[in-house]
Structure 1
Amino acid sequence: MFKKAILLLGVAVTCCLLWFAVYDYREAGPIARENLRGLALSLTTAIEKLAANDPSLETLHSFHPADVAYFALVDGRGVYRFHSNRDLVGTAVDHRAAKEQVLFDRSETRVVLGTGERAYQFASPVTVAGEPLLLVLTLHTFRADAVTRRARLNMTIVVALVGIGWLLSLGLARYARRQERHEEELARREALAKLGEMGAVLAHEIRNPLAGIKGFAQVIAAKPQELRNGAFAESIVTEAVRLESLVNDLLLYAANEPDTVADFPLAPLVEHVVSLHGPDAGYGHVGITWSCPADLLVRGNRDRIEQALLNLVHNALQAMAQGGELRVVASRSGRNVVIRIEDNGHGIADEHLPLVFEPFFTTKTRGTGLGLALCKKIVEANGGRITLKSRAGEGTVVTMVLPRAR
């Protein structure tokens, strides 16, 4: 919940910053135009006053504001009565459109000077000594354009900072998540190491007594002195076998995985595993089908992979107590081999799915809870991965991904 709140706050702040940057940029153009218009109106008033005080217009030649490119006064005949360039005074306006300009209309436009500069031209009617003239005022736009450029730069900086901020945030979040997973993996490995030590001690302490218990019970079962002793002896043997199986599972789980790997064909291994479970499948009215390309080679420890596959097929058969269909399908997938074990048994409840690969977790009455945990350990030790998908009442699909032969 806290992470979602931080994310929403970051999105809200980002939207506000971007809106402000875009708004500032869009408003910069009108502000620049208003600044130019205001400057032009002020200069028009000043020029009109200077011309009114000096009808000869000589005073205007000393009027040189920094923002003015040039200005001129045009009479109704289209002749320059005044121009910043003295040589043009008394000449006719070059452009026909300017000659036809209505003296009492005010206009503004952008023009290109002979130097290639884009300037702002403001035309306004003025009255000098009772005569209506047209003031053509052309202004440099350096300062006005600076407002737009500054707004564009500000928008670019804000967008860049927001992008960098999100990239840094994503990088930090990814690093934090990776660190969290690393710590979880270290904790899991530490727990597994302690579990392995416990299993080794447990196996060492009870394995020898179990052998004696099983031996005596088998003797009693072979020659019982009383009828009821036979049943008791059978119970002793059953429990001893179960404890022996638990010890063997503990030893297998606690033992280090062998380093020896080799390339081997997968099809004979799958066929062998299916044939071993054929009788049990027949008793349980389960049909088994399998498919695997004959030339498909796997790289890994064959015996350990066989052990994992045996456990998975055995689990699938136990999940179909009322009969069903079991499919074992192997195929290529890029540089890997994918083995799918699919059954239509009772499935696994959703709340149990995150725990199925944990040691000692089981929903069976007499299960050890080490079968899937051992499969996961074997597959990962051989450079692969294992996943399980299931839904209660619909069956289970276990997928093993193993590296192909080089």
Structure 2
Amino acid sequence: MITQVLTHRVEAPLHTPFVTALRRTGTVRTLIVEVRDGDGHRGFGEGPQVLQVTGASVEGTEACVAQVMGPLLVGRDPDELTANCRAVRTAVAGNEAAKAALDIALHDLAAQRLGIPLVRLLGGTALRVPTDVTLSADEAADAAAARVADGFGVLKVKVGADPATDVARVRAVRQAAGPDVTIRVDANQAWTPRQAVGVIRALHDEGLNLELVEQPVPAWDLDGMAWVRDRVDLPILADESVFGVRDLVEVIRRGAADLVNVKLAKCGGLSAGRVLLRLAEEHGVGTMVGSMMESPVGVGAAASLVAACGTTLTSDLDAAWWLARSPVEGGIGYDGPVVVLPDAPGLGVTGIADNTVEV
């Protein structure tokens, strides 16, 4: 049976500051959740703090897990995965980061009890998953050249921090990266619909051969995003506009986007993520799986989902690549532009790293 649900508030430094139109950070601040059974197995999950996107704080996520969801799980059979995840999902409204942390931990624990990698529990076998890499809003040509030299073939350029210079920055990235590298841009809600149309048309007219534009307008403005989509030639990817199924249904109904970015910390974990990917596929909406600023726990779960379910786009799983050091022992690694899943039970995470300070 499940005997304990523990929480670890951790903070880990990045090797390079991460800058978007919404925020600037030099650290990952996140909650690692640990679910233990009576046989000595430990399942790990993660709920990252991304106040500007999800509104979830580490403290609030921890309170939800420790005071509400965790006590519901103690004493339950860890092999009853579907029922346990449903109990987490229905325990409270909102609190998707807390739900994601426990949902991932329950999946990790179930896979560990079977002695198989998480990807196999989800129905897949691949242990290598390609990823893009992000260029922060303060990076351009030099960073692009460095990432291409590292082997990355898909660059995600953060724009919107200064709309007046967005076209020049993307032009510089294309010149540095060369013609064969895929470039996508992410405005993180920074533009008005009219600004978005102006910038996107300018990017298209420059002949920069972009793959897509991610979340050009505020998350709530689905009509505005549909208006943009009707007036530009580049595909529009919804990110912050889609947390759960109802959001995706509205995006589809309004014709607001061509593609969707599924993130576990937005939707509430692997259970919900699988539903979103299937719904998008059934309605002809392209898919990718993304990550917040997370540790190998959250990124490993997201990469396992991609390996098992597949996506139409190269996914956005570089979050743990930015870490100067990992706050956990074990888990994923990076082989250039590829996330490498461990051939070990569950996520392959064995505990909190010795040099990690819990905050």
Q: TM-score, normalization: structure 2?
A: 0.22
- Structure with the higher helix share, 1 or 2: 1
TM-score, with structure 1 as normaliser: 0.20
